[in-house]
Chain A
Amino acid sequence: MSVPNEDKMASHAQLSSHFFGDLLDSIIVDVASECHRIARLGLDRNLEEEEEELKLSAQARERVADPNNSGEANSKYVVDIFGQTHPPIASDIFECMNCHRPIMAGRFAPHLEKCMGKGRKARLKGTRSSTAAQNRHSRGSPVSTYPPYPNSTSTNQLSNGTSGVAGEEYSNGTFPES
């Protein structure tokens, strides 16, 4: 039986639409199934965690922008990235290598100033047995091992007559004993 062309076209169109819809539904189910799997397995960058991260980063931003929280000046207890707090003055205690006293780390630099002679009192410390300290503290003149004039007394300012300086005057390879 021959169907007139228009009817044929109409039924073709209807059939085509039907099959197209069929294919599309099938693909929709595929996509839904895949998204379901991703959602259940938490593969999609953890939807809930993302929200928490956004919240935390917003909080952190507020904390930084807050003018009351200038980390260095005001708060004595700044928290670093590992969550540790450090007191503003270092409080470890160790022994000074110069005077062998227990010193707090945060006070070490001022202690050294006094202990090693920037201060007035250190220079007057004549009773200390350390010769190295005294060599360095001879009145401003640089330590010279070769005196310009053998008999010059200016080089021999050290009251206890260190043999090292005096010995150089006779140096011909041997070190005379005093």
Chain B
Amino acid sequence: MKTSINRPPTPDAEEDQDHQPTLQEIINIKMIESGEKERLKELLRERLIECGWRDEMKALCRAFARKKGRNNVTVDDLVQVITPKGRASVPDSVKAELLQRIRTFLTSVSI
């Protein structure tokens, strides 16, 4: 069966016990546990829909699917197609707003 998502191998349990959580990981856990990560993701999604970014990405996917044949497309293909353009085309205002929110969160958890 053709796999369409590449998954990294599941880390063994033994390795985790010696592992010191990095600052990033700590903050990540705090973000998730407080629900802030979900809120930020929803905010970003909403802003990207409003500014048409999502439609642009969907158009790229459609064009790619037409070219490659719609039954030969994998999720990984589409991710590779969208990622460079997607990262570059986020409007500055959206990026600034999200960064501001994240920074506020970081201050609030007193890093």
Whether B106 lies near A31 (C-beta < 8 A) is no
Q: Is the interface of A mostly helix, strand, loop or mixed?
A: helix
- Of all chain B residues, the one with the shortest Cβ separation from A47 is B66
A69 within 8 Å of B by Cβ?
no
**How many whole Å from A49's CB to the nearest CB in chain B?**
11
Residues of B within 8 A of A12 (CB): 103, 106-107, 111
The CA of A47 and the CA of B61, in the complex, are separated in Å by 12
| Size bracket, chain B contacts | 35 or more
Whether B57 lies near A28 (C-beta < 8 A) is yes
Residues of B within 8 A of A51 (CB): 66
A20 within 8 Å of B by Cβ?
yes
Contact with A along B27-61 (1 / 0, CB 8 A): 11001000001001100110010000010011001
B residues touching A (Cβ–Cβ < 8 Å)?
Answer: 4, 23-24, 27-28, 31, 37, 40-41, 44-45, 48, 54, 57-58, 61-62, 65-66, 69-71, 73-75, 78-79, 81-83, 86-87, 90, 95, 98-99, 102-103, 106-107, 111
